[in-house]
Amino acid sequence: MSIIDLKGIYTAYEGGDKPVINDLSLRVERGEYVVVGGPNSAGKTTLLESINGLVRITHGSAIVCGLDLQSNADEVRRKVGYVIQNFYFDPFTPFTVEQVVMMGRFGRLGLLNRPKNDDYDAAEKAIRLVGIEDLAHKTIGTLSGGQQQKVMIAHNIAKEPEVLMLDEPFSNLDFHAREYLQCIFRDIVRSGTPILMVAHAFDGLPEIRIHLIVMNRGRISLDAFCEASEVESIIRTECVW
């Protein structure tokens, strides 16, 4: 069974006159590292939001984590990790990094249950993996954009999702941090959990087979497998700027 199986989907924003995504089909299997490229406004973010049940699918069928997305969006969101493209934390946001990462467990816990040992372990492990132990007791709003990005990655790793989606997660991170995180992502993929990443910079991609998707104007114009070293040049030639 594919983790993501979209067949001929169309999605539109409320009040939008025409669909942003047009007749798109995509399958993602366990253990795949999927890179999504394409020019601005191609619909990359909208694709991730559709998979996460945040944008209405008007036609077509969408099975995510074995569930029919249209009738199970809440449950799908509990199973999918999603690091959004642009987020902003008010400087006075009262949560520490530790608490924000623990919130990644809330979907499993339910709101009224207190975290158990498993939950503390998963949160601690994610913090250690991403290398943000030194930030654990700081409040999230006082961190730099890049540090906040790492926290949101740790939050989604603590969630132990069935698929991890990331929308331009490296925009505020330097080469060293990108390479470090890419190693973590490689290990996640090797453990079987697929990753679906929208990206613009491809240095530091792990040397594994990449499932490459290029989007143009709401459609997938290329869906192929390639080596990490080929990703950048293929995207360059496939994009309609």
Ligand X SMILES: Nc1ncnc2c1ncn2[C@@H]1O[C@H](COP(=O)(O)OP(=O)(O)O)[C@@H](O)[C@H]1O
Q: Which residue of this chain has its Cβ atom nearest to Mg ion in the complex?
A: 45
* Separation of alpha carbons 131 and 117, rounded Å: 21
Both tokens of 125, joined, read 């492990």
**Distance in Å, CB of 55 to Mg ion, minimum:** 12
Contacts to Mg ion from residues 84-143, by CB under 5 A = 85
The DSSP bridge partners found for residue 56 are 12
* Burial per residue of 152-175, b for 16 or more beta-carbon CB atoms within 10 angstroms, e otherwise: bbbbbbbbbbbbbbbbbbbeebee
What are the Cα distances from residue 191, in Å, to 31, 164, 229?
Answer: 7, 12, 22
**Distance in Å, CB of 207 to ligand X, minimum:** 26
Q: Does 45 bind Mg ion (CB under 5 A)?
A: yes
Residue 105 binds: one of Mg ion, ligand X, none (C-beta under 5 to 8 A by kind): none
**Distance in Å, CB of 226 to ligand X, minimum:** 20
The DSSP bridge partners found for residue 26 are 6
Q: Does 229 bind ligand X (CB under 6 A)?
A: no
User: Which of 9-17, 41-49, 90-98, 120-128 is the region at the interface with Mg ion (rule: CB under 5 A)?
Assistant: 41-49
Q: Does 11 bind ligand X (CB under 6 A)?
A: no
Residues that bind ligand X (CB under 6 A): 13, 16, 20, 38, 40-46
